[in-house]
Amino acid sequence: MRLKGKTAIITGATSGMGKAMAERFSMEGASLVLSGRSQERGLELERNLNKAGGKVVFVAGDVGKLEVNEILVKTAIEHFGKLDTVVTNAGKLGLGSITEISLNEWQETINTNLNSVFYLSRLAIPEMLKNGGGCILANSSIAAFKSFPNHAAYCASKAALVALVKEMAVDYGPKIRVNTICPGPVDTPLIWDSAQAFENPETIVQQTANNTLMKRLGKPEDIASLALFLVSEEASWITGAAYTIDGGILVK
Ligand SMILES: NC(=O)c1ccc[n+]([C@@H]2O[C@H](COP(=O)([O-])OP(=O)(O)OC[C@H]3O[C@@H](n4cnc5c(N)ncnc54)[C@H](O)[C@@H]3O)[C@@H](O)[C@H]2O)c1
């Protein structure tokens, strides 16, 4: 019960890594406000976690919009009386080079991957401070450090996220810890969408798995383990850090 008594918001919780984090955090005793776009998947997750003894509320909506983030923070306070932890995990690929991507797709990708973190952190920090402090964990990507073809908006937004997190750690320490995780290839629907930017998606995913030192794709649970550690008291001296978790693909 490493998160007993803590209230956390997790965005992008209806699938992949966010869902694995929701399941893990709930098992560890956290009260959760979960966000995602699919009402159906979100309510199913809410039902399953509550059936297993969790304290979970799902809120559907696009976190690229300020008002959805306002609802998330309000829900945490109304249901659980306080807010300790925010995990900004929702992400969008927005495929295309800068001459191909539509203006709308570029804007939506920046809104989802970067502006949402600004909105939610800005709203959450005053609530955390009322309670003595808290922590924020953002899900970036190895795309912050390595370029992938036709991922212009994705690479730019994920790199900006790493810089934003470090800057926030400076502004809000020691009361609030702010960190980011930078996953490599993880087996979620998003990696298969990402592979569409290449000629042969099946082959590229297989090659990518083989290119890791661990010879496999990451599992959402691998990422949930790191996220759990970073938001727990065990990580109380960790802030302003960007953790790659990538099976060793970046060091090759
Ligand atoms: N899968 C990978 O290989 C990989 C690698 C590095 C980083 N990431 C990052 O990890 C995070 C989680 O991705 P995943 O791989 O689990 O993908 P996924 O597609 O399984 O899940 C993405 C989640 O984000 C939600 N989401 C997307 N846009 C949203 C929006 N505007 N508002 C609210 N929710 C929204 C979706 O509903 C879903 O719950 C993302 O930020 C992604 O960029 C993924």
Interval 184-220: pLDDT, tens = 999 999 999 999 888 899 999 999 999 999 999 999 9
Q: Is residue 176 part of a domain?
A: yes
168 C-alpha to ligand 1 centroid (Å): 22
Spell out which residues line ligand 1, taking CB within 6 angstroms.
Answer: 11-18, 35-38, 62-64, 89-92, 112, 139, 141, 183, 185-186, 188-191
What secondary structure does DSSP assign to the chain, as a single string?
A: -TTTT-EEEESSTTSHHHHHHHHHHHHTT-EEEEEES-HHHHHHHHHHHHHTT-EEEEEES-TTSHHHHHHHHHHHHHHHS---EEEE-------B-TTTS-HHHHHHHHIIIIIHHHHHHHHHHHHHHHTT-EEEEEE--GGGTS--TTBHHHHHHHHHHHHHHHHHHHHHTTTEEEEEEEE-SBSSHHHHHHGGGSS-HHHHHHHHHHHSTTSS-B-HHHHHHHHHHHHSGGGTT--S-EEEESTTGGG-
157 C-alpha to ligand 1 centroid (Å): 13
Q: Could you identify the atom of ligand 1 that is nearest to the CA of residue 185?
A: 3
Q: Which residue has the CA at smallest separation from atom 23 of ligand 1?
A: 12
251 C-alpha to ligand 1 centroid (Å): 24
Q: Is residue 207 part of a domain?
A: no
Q: Is residue 1 part of a domain?
A: no
- For the chain, give the percent of residues with pLDDT over 70: 100
Interval 8-32: pLDDT, tens = 999 999 999 999 999 999 999 999 9
Catalytic, 119? Answer no
Range of the domain at 31: 7-185+219-245
Q: Which residue has the CA at smallest separation from atom 17 of ligand 1?
A: 190
Q: Is residue 199 part of a domain?
A: no
Q: Is residue 190 part of a domain?
A: no
Interval 35-64: pLDDT, tens = 999 999 999 999 999 999 999 999 999 999
Q: Is residue 42 part of a domain?
A: yes
55 C-alpha to ligand 1 centroid (Å): 23
Q: Is residue 135 part of a domain?
A: yes
Ligand 1 pocket, mutate which of 9, 17, 108, 154 (most atoms under 8 A from CB): 17
**The domain spanning residue 105 has which CATH number?**
3.40.50.720
Q: Is residue 192 part of a domain?
A: no
Into how many domains does the chain fold? 1
